[in-house]
Amino acid sequence: MPDQDWAADTADRVDQVVAAIRSKTSDKLVGVARLVVYGLLAVVMGAMALILLTIAGIRFLDAYIPRGVWIPYLLLGAIFVVAGLLLWSKRTAKPAH
């Protein structure tokens, strides 16, 4: 009977099984969780950047168009309406049921 360390072999096999289960379950969940967290962070930062750029645009236009603040609001409102119409025209129709 050869000298085999059956305890070490069993421990190695258990370790391999646990590593295989972990790689199929928790590693994928960690990847999904990271995707969700970084995606939400990007959405929040993008929304904040859009708001700050809008405020900066209104202040910039108000400083260089001396007729009142309603003109910058009108110009930026028109830009947003045109952008909204462009996005609306690019939408896809949902299939009828």
pTM above 0.85, yes or no: no
Q: Is residue 32 part of a domain?
A: yes
**Tens digit of pLDDT for each residue in 27-43?**
788 889 999 999 999 99
DSSP 69: T
* Domain total in the chain: 1
Q: Which domain holds residue 39?
A: 7-89
The pLDDT score that the predictor gives to residue 1 is 45
Q: Is residue 67 part of a domain?
A: yes
Q: Is residue 48 part of a domain?
A: yes
Q: Is residue 94 part of a domain?
A: no
**Tens digit of pLDDT for each residue in 41-60?**
999 999 999 999 989 988 98
Res. 3: pLDDT tops 70: no
* Residue that wins the pLDDT comparison between 63 and 43: 43
Task: Calculate what percentage of the chain has a pLDDT beyond 90.
Answer: 38
- Cβ–Cβ under 8 Å, residues 57 and 76: yes
Q: Is residue 2 part of a domain?
A: no
Q: Is residue 79 part of a domain?
A: yes
From the number of C-beta atoms within 10 Å of its C-beta (0-12, 13-18, 19+), residue 75 rates as middle
Q: Is residue 23 part of a domain?
A: yes
Distance (Å, whole) CA 87 – CA 74: 20
Q: Is residue 97 part of a domain?
A: no
